[in-house]
Amino acid sequence: MTKIIGLTGGIGSGKTTVAKMFMANGIPVYIADEEAKKIMDSKEIILQIENVFGAEVVSNKKIDRVKLSKIVFNNPEKLEQLNKIVHPAVQKHFKDWLKNHTTVPFVIKEAAILFETGGHKHCDKVITVVAPQLLRIERVILRDKSDKDSVLHRINNQWSDEKKILLSDFVIENVDLEKTTKQVDDILKVLNKI
């Protein structure tokens, strides 16, 4: 039975960098955020989002992510409505993906809000990636060309690192790439024995 290893971390922690390190070691990695974006482009999901959020969030038969973000990121109820549409579809997609990876001992499921959605309950082990808040803010500003206030708002909408760490089996402090690589190697040694 293929084990599911959850990989999570707050925005700007560098969980995608860590996910790529696992991929480089030949481990199949499912990146939930990327898959969710693809799923949100499907006609069925676009229709559901349009029904809940109105026609103004759809332009050229695609979701206008900027408009939708403005609606959901300042309104926890709206964010929950969106999650109720997208997350079940992502879950189904992951289950189908997993069927193609039955010969490996484990896969990595990378998800930004693994704990917030209860996804950690379906994982055999969980890895949380952490980094100092100032570094996370710098990374996101560089990556998304956003401002400090909007990054802080997104950080505050996610569980704190402390809360995630309590429920995690492994914690990777992602500040220095060389040290992060070593931490990934050490975790792989443990995972290869389970």
Residues 6+ apart with CB under 8 A from 182: none
6 is in an annotated binding site: no
Cβ atoms 3, 124 nearer than 8 A: yes
**What is the CA 139 to chain-centroid distance, rounded?**
16
Query: Can you tell me which residue has the tokens 């707050």?
Result: 10
- Tokens representing 117 are 């959605």
CA-to-CA distance for 89 and 67, rounded, in angstroms? 21
12 is in an annotated binding site: yes
14 is in an annotated binding site: yes
128 is in an annotated binding site: no
Runs of H (alpha helix) within the chain? 15-24, 32-39, 43-53, 65-72, 76-99, 133-144, 148-156, 161-166, 177-191
10 is in an annotated binding site: no
150 is in an annotated binding site: no
CA-to-CA distance for 31 and 191, rounded, in angstroms? 19
| Residue 165 burial (CB count, 10 A) | 14
Annotated binding site: 12-17
Annotated binding site for ATP: 12-17
